[in-house]
Structure 1
């Protein structure tokens, strides 16, 4: 899953740009997820879910044509991104905000950019050219493994090369297994991912289950003391 973030000052068209990027990537045949970084509570006060929260519920879930969960705490961004990648397995995650994170980003404000900015746009931007840049220069969540499998000594060096348009790819994205300890994702190199995946899968297959084909396995362990 590749990640692209839209950053900029308030009221500079970030949400409009995010929508156009999502629509454009979808039109090119990609599966796309969206994530918004907000500094305030999401407003559901006039809905039943808001009333549940006012009553003191620490977690509120809604299940119908859509599924959503409201937690009374802010999750770590990398934790949520890991979950999105495993739950839906999208090709792209388009984020509004997170300007201090090391995602490839597009800025709607010339004064708000950093070394991970691939383009700065105004109201006259060409969406197709922007989509080409996103396909070419965005990348996944940096895991800080510094494994060197991409040909660079550090993950940040890889990211800078990708931003510049070099034809390089990260070889250590979470594909076979994901480990989260106390809400903190733990980076795993591909070899360790395969060991964990094959070991757990082998254990599960040894159990007597009605379902013979396994598509994915989710394992949660708590209260280890």
Structure 2
């Protein structure tokens, strides 16, 4: 199960600092982490190519320049990410996961510790076997695991 946490608060309250600290601590514990940054800027305007591709029916659109952006229908991607924990900065009006509100930078370290504690309780080690052997813990295998879980598939056997 992917654990989802939100850190919300006003500008310069310490949201980024709390997420940065929690991410470092959780990564040191061997967990795979994804972070999501909410922005009020439109990055996929309706009249641009990427939006047109999605309206035409593309399920995933990649925008690649010097940086890379991937467009999915909003929030569908959260359950498919190959990670143990997702930490979201913002989206105060939405309930996407366990929400932590920060009011000042001095609270960042305590909020990071709370996220780490709850993530350790929530994140379960994924046990995967391939041909009877324990599968390596990797992004690729977590992608497969998350897809199988999403589709309610518990086991796959190859048949001739």
What TM-score does the superposition give when structure 2 sets the normalisation length? 0.58
User: Is 1:178 the counterpart of 2:150 in the alignment?
Assistant: yes
Structure with larger Rg: 1
Change (3 A) 1:135 1:65: same
1:206 matched residue in structure 2: 159
Of 80, 83, 91, the match for 1:83: 80
State whether residues 25 and 131 of structure 1, in contact with CA within 8 Å, keep that contact through their aligned partners in structure 2: no
Question: How well do the aligned residues superpose, as a CA RMSD in angstroms?
Answer: 3.7
Q: Is the 8 A contact 2:3 2:86 kept in 1?
A: yes
Deviation at 1:95, TM superposition (A): 0.6
Listed one character per residue, the Cα deviations across residues 168-189 of structure 1 (whole Å, up to 9, x for unaligned) are: xxxxxx685213xxxxxxxxxx
Which structure exhibits the higher relative contact order, with contacts defined as CA atoms closer than 8 Å and separated by 6 or more residues? 2
Structure 2, gaps ≥5 residues long: 124-145
| Structure-to-structure mapping, 1:49-68, within 5 angstroms | 52-53=49-50, 57-58=53-54, 60-62=61-63, 68=69
Of 99, 105, 111, the match for 1:105: 99
Which structure's residues are more often helix, by fraction?
Answer: 2
TM-score normalised by structure 1 residue count: 0.44
Q: How many residues align?
A: 128
SS of alignment partner, residue 197 of structure 1: coil
Task: Kindly indicate whether the alpha-carbon contact (under 8 Å) linking 1:32 and 1:91 is maintained by their aligned counterparts in 2.
Answer: yes
Give ranges in structure 1 of 5+ residues lacking alignment.
45-50, 110-121, 141-173, 180-192, 208-225
Shift of 1:126: 6.1
- State which of 82, 93, 117 in structure 2 corresponds to 1:136: 117
